Amino acid sequence: MLKGKTALVTGSTSGIGKAIATRLAAEGANVILNGFGDAKEIEALRAGLERDHKVRAGFSGADLTKAEAIEGMMAQAAKAFGGVDILVNNAGTQFVSPIEDFPVAKWDLIIALNLSSAFHTTRLALPHMKSKKWGRILNMGSAHAKVASPFKSAYVAAKHGLSGLTKTTALEGATSGVRANLICPGYVFTPLVEGQIADTAKARGMTEEQVKNDVLLAAQPTKEFVTVEQVAGFAAFLCSPAADSINGAELSIDGGWTAQ
């Protein structure tokens, strides 16, 4: 389905991003990985994508909190692959704290990584997409792009901002074959959520098991975590011809959380 396309997936060395990169490779797209982690494990992932799916796969360790690093990553993608056809802005981080105690440095980090990085990748990817009259930009939102939770001021602010960026991008690219959408998962069991469970337990004076059952899954009527494979399948669908008329949408995959 995506043979000949190149997908850049940020934050793709683990969790949701890794699953999306793997699924897009399975659909025939060349893939550029991005993220942190053990160099040998990342290389094994990159080489495995090439071997298993007969595509080209690259890697950039760019620090997405720095605009100049993002510019370097996008230039590298253009040189090695001719440009980015599918951009998945997935990289993110979380910190849990009451607003009055929220560390300013943590606020700045979350806004930079979860929101500003998507602006920079998008502004640099759009010219190529418009010139090809085809492009897909998938921003990883959250149920927190639609609703708030206590102690997550920076994350909620960033995800709401990402929703606005997505809609604006969708309008600007609409007549050029570019589609931009926001995927809004509920709680997906990833390393990010594992860390969030521990932080929330500390902030609320609860056990981690209580956080899982009484805080996280309490929000999801299905009482089940969303899986990374479900999110990856949704992302692949949004890159398919069947999704050509889906543009600027906030698309929930949250077990009914935001239906309440």
Among 59, 151, 155, 187, the one annotated catalytic: 155
Q: Cα–Cα distance between 215 and 197 in angstroms, integer?
A: 9
Q: Is 226 helix (H, G, I), strand (E, B) or coil?
A: strand
155 is annotated as an active-site residue = yes
Tokens of 41: 């494990």
Q: Cα–Cα distance between 103 and 18 in angstroms, integer?
A: 29
Tokens of 198: 């521990």
How many residues can be counted in the chain? 260
DSSP character for 96? -
Q: Is 26 helix (H, G, I), strand (E, B) or coil?
A: helix
Element housing 25 (H / E) = helix 15-26
Q: Cα–Cα distance between 225 and 197 in angstroms, integer?
A: 13
Using N-to-C axis directions, what is the helix angle for 15-26 and 228-238, rounded to 10°? 50
User: For residues 64 and 43, is the Cβ–Cβ distance under 8 A?
Assistant: no
**Catalytic amino acids?**
155
